[in-house]
Chains A and B, each alone.
Chain A
Amino acid sequence: MAEKPKHTLNPNNWVGAHSDYLFNYTITRVDNSELAKDIVQETFFSGLKAQHNFRGQASERTWLISILKRKIIDHYRKINSAKGKAEIRVNFYEDGDKKGTWLEERVPKMWDNEAEKNIENDELKSALDSCIKNLPEKYRLVFLMKNVQHYETEEICNELGITASNLWVIIHRARHQLRKCLEDNWFSK
């Protein structure tokens, strides 16, 4: 005997009842409001097409979120496979005897002592923001999810469809680029 559905779908009310929640959920994961809007819209469209799959066991919102999550993973896959200017400069020798040691021009320089002590400066915040803006999108998203939203590693991996070792490689590269950017724009003597 089939279980009686506990919930039903009411697409006429989706926008009123769920759009803010879905939008807020999306924006903390894609960091772009236009894009978040598009993803929410696509989620509703896919939901309409998939109505017959709704079995009524989960609430309407939970069901919509499960569709939304797949959209976010799709988006991340798309930017993750995109090549181009996003590619990070290497910091270490890639082969030979010196494999894994610092390239001369990438060795951390001495930082200004005063600047190191004075990190509350508002202009440092602007420098940091613009360095983050310069990160390739796929690195920026993971970095912000970790450092601003404070998601657990496992959660980020699930939400973006990546492995923990992928995640640490991304964080590693993002932080290398940020360190260098702040060195060039702020901390160098």
Chain B
Amino acid sequence: MSNKFFINCDEATAICNKNQYKEASFWEKLKLGIHIFICKKCRQYSKQNIILTEVCNKHLHKGEDEHKLSEKEKEVLQTEVVKRIK
């Protein structure tokens, strides 16, 4: 991303997205701040993006169960593997 202070909406929303993961740099955040100050549409986007992050944090969770293969699936797999052992 170029080093100018004024960025367009595409660039601003890209930084805004990166910032949802706290991975935007200081300069990126500064440029985003300036853009949002002057652009109502991106201000709206930014506000909604924070809500999107909250919604995701609230509703998306890592499954607690370990994923396992069934005994049947293992049997099939075992047969296939053994068949190929030379």
Stretch at the interface among A39-47, A53-61, A65-73: A39-47
CB within 8 A of B9: which of A48, A101, A183, A187?
A101
Q: Which of A151-178 contact B (CB under 8 A)?
A: 153, 168-169, 171-172, 175-176, 178
Rounded to whole Å, the gap between the CB of B44 and the closest CB of chain A is 5
Proximity string of chain A (126-170) to chain B, C-beta cutoff 8 Å, 1 when within and 0 when not? 001100000000000000101111100100000000000000110
Q: Quick one: given A102-B41, A150-B62, are A168 and B68 in contact (CB under 8 Å)?
A: no
Q: A101-B9, A110-B44 are in contact. List 11 more A-B contacts (CB 8 A).
A: A16-B74, A28-B67, A36-B67, A100-B8, A129-B59, A147-B60, A171-B17, A172-B17, A175-B17, A175-B20, A175-B49
Complex contacts, B80 vs chain A, CB 8 Å: 41, 44-45
- Contact partner of B21 among A19, A107, A125, A146, CB < 8 A? A146
Give me the interface of A with B, judged by CB distance under 8 Å.
11-12, 14-16, 19-20, 23-24, 27-28, 33, 36-37, 40-41, 44-45, 48, 91-92, 99-102, 107-108, 110-111, 116, 119-120, 124-125, 128-129, 144, 146-150, 153, 168-169, 171-172, 175-176, 178-179, 182-183, 187
Contact of B10 among A23, A91, A149, A182 (CB under 8 A): A91
Q: Interface size bucket, B side?
A: 35 or more
- Chain B interface (Cβ < 8 Å from any Cβ of A): 7-11, 13-14, 17-18, 20-21, 23, 41, 44-45, 48-49, 51-52, 54-56, 58-62, 66-69, 73-74, 77-78, 80-82, 84-86
Kindly list chain A residues whose C-beta atoms are within 8 Å of the C-beta of B52.
175, 178-179, 182
Known: A20-B68, A125-B59. A171 touches B48 (CB 8 A): no
Instruction: Count A/B pairs, Cβ under 8 Å.
Output: 122
SS of B interface (majority): helix
Identify A107's interface contact among B41, B62, B73, B82, CB under 8 A.
B41
Q: Is the CB of A168 within 8 A of B56?
A: no
What is the distance, in angstroms, from A108's C-beta to the closest C-beta of chain B? Answer: 5
Docked pose: A28 CA to B62 CA in angstroms: 9
CB <8 Å contact, A172 and B68: no
| Residue contact B81 to A14, C-beta cutoff 8 Å | yes
